[in-house]
Amino acid sequence: MKIAVDAMGGDFGPEVIIPASLAFLEETPEANIILLGQEDLLRQELLRHGASNHGRLQVQHAPQVVGMDEAPSQALRGKRNSSMRLGIDLIKTGAADALVSAGNTGALMAMGKVILRTIPGIDRPAIATTMPTRQGKTLMLDLGANVDCDAHHLYQFAIMGDVFARLVMNLPRPSIGLLNIGEEEIKGNETVKEAAVLLRGSSLNFHGNVEGSDIYRGTTDVVVCDGFVGNVALKVSEGLAQMIRTELKEAYQASWYGRLTAVLSLPVLRRFRDRLDHRRYNGATLLGLNGIIIKSHGNADAFAFAQAIRVAAAEVRHHLIANIAQEVQVLLAEHQETTA
């Protein structure tokens, strides 16, 4: 297994990405990594980690870097020699099985679409990631790639989510929920209602509509929504979790008594923090492309970035792309039979 790693992306670049890559190689003896970036920078950092001659780590020079705020169209035209673009080229030629990048999401998606194209039968790729729930994990998609989706796009997201959950999350028959709104007057917009009809008519394990609160309850294994709603849900969660962490900290620091009990509570608070540690959920898949691209959070540390590489490795191991391509064909055929 060969994984390309864009060493220039994210807030910290090689400083974080190289130790993460080395940690991943350490635990995965069958894996090779191709690091892409400015060669002297990468060599320096490898030297610092005493890994200048790692047998399963290769450096490929990329003179350009895609900026975090660069317009995707501009990156696409002007950054043909960037670490991001050369990484995607490696997938295209078969020299790598996957790419992991903490860089500009829009540019990554745009380049992925143009160079790799989508899986036949999939119109638009989606951004997918697992979220922690009371029971374990829920796969959610789309998290921001598509702001205006029609019912067929949501249906395709469900197909991809099903394959991902079966292979990568090891669930024999994952339940699929369609994100909708609750008790209020009109239950959902037209797109969601239409998507529900498509899903109900398919052989997928469609649970029905779910509400925002069902995500963390783990009501279904997969939650499907359009990218606008998914992105808001994700960011609202980040904001609330951060506020709660800060409030909890302040409550403990407000008095000498609080500070004392905080010290005593440390093992408990650590256990709590670890359980919900967002770094453990790092690594979103650009699902639907004809190749595996994993997006790491821009501010990932080495622990979090290694997690994103693990997601890539799991998808390579389970031949995710070929399996999605196959299921899409089966379900599309089934759909045509039903409507014929």
Site for its own copies in 158-187 (CB under 8 A): 179, 181-186
Does residue 340 interact with its own copies by CB under 8 A?
A: no
Stretch that binds its own copies, among 18-26, 30-38, 129-137, 329-337 (CB under 8 A): 129-137
Stretch that binds its own copies, among 27-35, 45-53, 246-254, 309-317 (CB under 8 A): 246-254
CA distances for 186 relative to 149, 209, 213, angstroms: 19, 13, 18
Q: How far is the CB of 290 from its own copies (least distance, A)?
A: 18
Q: Which of 251, 322, 330, 333 binds its own copies (CB under 8 A)?
A: 251
Tokens of 223: 């939650």
Q: Report which DSSP code applies to 279.
A: G
Lookup: tokens for 261: 């009990």
Site for its own copies in 59-98 (CB under 8 A): 68-69, 72
Of 118, 115, 161, 162, which Cα lies nearest the Cα of 142?
161
CA-only gyration radius of the chain, Å: 21
Q: CB of 99: closest distance to its own copies in angstroms?
A: 17
- Minimum distance of its own copies from residue 47's CB (angstroms): 33
Closest approach, Cβ 328 to its own copies, in A, equals 23
**Shortest approach of its own copies to residue 149 CB, angstroms?**
10
3-state DSSP assignment of residue 57: strand
Residue 115 binding its own copies, by CB under 8 A: no
Q: How far is the CB of 69 from its own copies (least distance, A)?
A: 8
Chosen residue from 28, 32, 118, 237 binding its own copies by CB under 8 A: 237
Work out which of 167, 169, 248, 332 binds its own copies, going by CB under 8 A. Answer: 248
- 236 touches its own copies (CB under 8 A): yes
Residue 7 interacts with its own copies (CB under 8 A)? no
Interaction residues for its own copies, span 285-324 (CB under 8 A): none
What distance in Å separates the CA atoms of residue 204 and residue 222, rounded to the nearest whole number? 11
Is 90:3 a contact under the CB 8 Å cutoff? no
Please list, in sequence order, all residues whose beta carbon lies within 8 angstroms of the beta carbon of residue 275, skipping any fewer than 6 positions away: 132
Smallest gap, in angstroms, from Cβ of residue 259 to its own copies?
9
The correct pick among 67, 137, 212, 335 for binding its own copies (CB under 8 A) is: 212
Task: Tell me which stretch binds its own copies (CB under 8 A): 13-21, 86-94, 236-244, 305-313.
Answer: 236-244
Task: Tell me if 238 contacts its own copies by CB under 8 A.
Answer: yes
Residue range at the interface with its own copies (CB under 8 A); choices 3-11, 27-35, 258-266, 321-329: 258-266
The sign of the torsion formed by the CA atoms of 312, 315, 319, 320 equals negative
Residue found by looking up tokens 């008790």 in the block = 183
Distance (Å) of CA 198 to CA 73, 77, 124, 213:
34, 38, 17, 24
Contacts of 226 (CB under 8 A, 6+ apart): 142, 146, 147, 148, 149, 153, 154, 191
Strands 2-6 and 32-37: parallel
Euclidean distance between CA atoms 66 and 73, whole angstroms? 11
Closer Cβ to its own copies, 58 or 261, answer by number: 261
**Per-residue contact string for residues 259-278; x = within reach of its own copies by CB under 8 A:** --xx-xx-xxx-xx--xx--
C-alpha distance from residue 77 to each of 111, 125, 234 (Å): 9, 21, 30
Shortest distance in whole angstroms from residue 124 CB to its own copies: 11
In this structure, is the dihedral angle defined by the CA atoms of residues 255, 260, 266 and 269, taken in order, positive or negative? negative
What is residue 166's three-state secondary structure?
helix
